[in-house]
């Protein structure tokens, strides 16, 4: 998975902190434990306006994503301690915190790459093999968008709606996950191409209760280039 590959590569270089931060990922060593830090956005907070306000982007990144990372790191440290002591109760008890917060970190890291300012190609429909795969699997891009918007609007509570690739079957799927469950919880072979955050914090300040409007508009800043890259890597 992209995230893990990037972190593994980083261990080879010296001056890890600055190099990693430039590329959007950072981590520090605490003994053997790898912990995480907030990746930079590849664009300014206001770059996605008027589709997503700068206010939302800043809160979403600096508060929500950061909180997941902080709590994920804390849970990992507690897990390391519990594992070293053979404290099975604590190991098991920590699983939900790891799933929530680790999932939150994974999902948001993908999400920032799923978005792109309009002047940098955000919203441009997919070409090449992904475009073709979408037509094959869903009939048309419009049909896919309608599918995702329907699923996203119908999701009760908090969660995500995904365009995923089943890398075994080489098929595209639309899936939803609850809370911060990553796509892989719906199938071990599923790779996220695009994820749309439908937690209320992702849109409320701007769209209030009208989640369907948020979903309708977000396609204008969706980064199909990233989705294509991931797709082509798994289906060369």
Partner 1 sequence: MHSTAVATSLTCALLPFQGILGALESNHCLQWRKQERRCSQKARRTLVAAQFELKPPPYSLNALEPHMSHEIIEYHWGKHQRGYVENLNRQILGSELDGMALGDIILVSYNKGDLLPAFNNAAQIWNHEFFWESMKPGGGGKPSGDLLELIERDFGSFEGLVREFKLAASTQFGSGWAWLAYKANRLDVGNAINPCPSEEDKKLVVVKSPNAVNPLVWDYSPLLTVDVWEHAYYLDYENRRADYISVFMEKLVSWEIVSYRLEMAKARANEREEERKREEEEENMSDIEAVEMYLDSETDESETE
- Given the rule CB under 8 A, which residues bind partner 1? 59, 63-64, 67, 96, 100, 156-159, 178-180, 199-201, 204-205, 208-209
Residues 6+ apart with CB under 8 A from 169: 189
Q: How far is the CB of 200 from partner 1 (least distance, A)?
A: 4
Q: Is 64 marked within a binding site?
A: no
Which of 6, 153 has the CB closer to partner 1? 153
Instruction: Evaluate the omega torsion of the peptide bond into residue 50 and state whether it is cis, within 30 degrees of 0.
Output: yes
Structure tokens given for 81: 């301690």
Q: Is 61 marked within a binding site?
A: no
Q: How far is the CB of 131 from partner 1 (least distance, A)?
A: 34
Q: How far is the CB of 148 from partner 1 (least distance, A)?
A: 20
For 86-127, where are the alpha helices, taking DSSP H only? 88-93, 95-114
* Alpha carbon distance 117, 57 (integer Å): 12
Which of 114, 180 has the CB closer to partner 1? 180
Q: Is 201 marked within a binding site?
A: yes
Which of 137, 158 has the CB closer to partner 1? 158
Q: How far is the CB of 4 from partner 1 (least distance, A)?
A: 24
Which of 109, 180 has the CB closer to partner 1? 180
Which of 55, 142 has the CB closer to partner 1? 55
* Alpha carbon distance 185, 148 (integer Å): 18
* Alpha carbon distance 202, 196 (integer Å): 9
Q: What is the DSSP code (8-state) at residue 94?
A: T
Q: How far is the CB of 180 from partner 1 (least distance, A)?
A: 8
For the chain, where are the alpha helices, taking DSSP H only? 2-10, 16-22, 54-59, 66-85, 88-93, 95-114, 128-138, 141-154, 204-207, 211-218, 224-234
How, if at all, do strands 171-178 and 159-166 pair? antiparallel
**Which residues are documented as binding site for Mn(2+)?**
60, 108, 197, 201
Residues flagged as binding site:
60, 108, 197, 201
């Amino acid at each position: 998975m992209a995230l893990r590959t990037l972190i593994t590569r980083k261990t080879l270089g010296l001056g890890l902190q600055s190099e990693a931060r430039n590329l959007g990922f950072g981590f520090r060593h605490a003994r053997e434990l790898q912990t995480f830090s907030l990746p930079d956005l590849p664009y300014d907070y206001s770059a996605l306006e008027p589709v997503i306000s700068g206010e939302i982007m800043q809160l979403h990144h600096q508060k929500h994503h950061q909180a997941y990372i902080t709590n994920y790191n804390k849970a990992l440290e507690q897990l390391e301690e519990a594992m070293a002591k053979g404290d099975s109760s604590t190991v098991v008890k920590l699983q939900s915190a790891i799933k929530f917060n680790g999932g939150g970190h994974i999902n948001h890291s993908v999400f920032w790459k799923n978005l792109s300012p309009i002047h940098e190609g955000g919203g441009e429909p997919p070409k090449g093999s992904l475009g073709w795969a979408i037509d094959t699997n869903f009939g048309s891009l419009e049909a896919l968008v309608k599918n995702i918007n329907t699923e996203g609007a119908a999701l009760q509570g908090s969660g995500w709606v995904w365009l995923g690739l089943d890398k075994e079957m080489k098929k595209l799927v639309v899936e939803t996950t609850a809370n911060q469950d990553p796509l892989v919880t719906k199938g071990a072979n599923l790779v996220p191409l695009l994820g749309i955050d439908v937690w209320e914090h992702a849109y409320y300040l701007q769209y209030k209760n009208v989640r369907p409007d948020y979903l309708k508009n977000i396609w204008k800043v969706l980064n199909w280039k990233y989705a294509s890259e991931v797709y082509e890597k798994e289906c060369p």
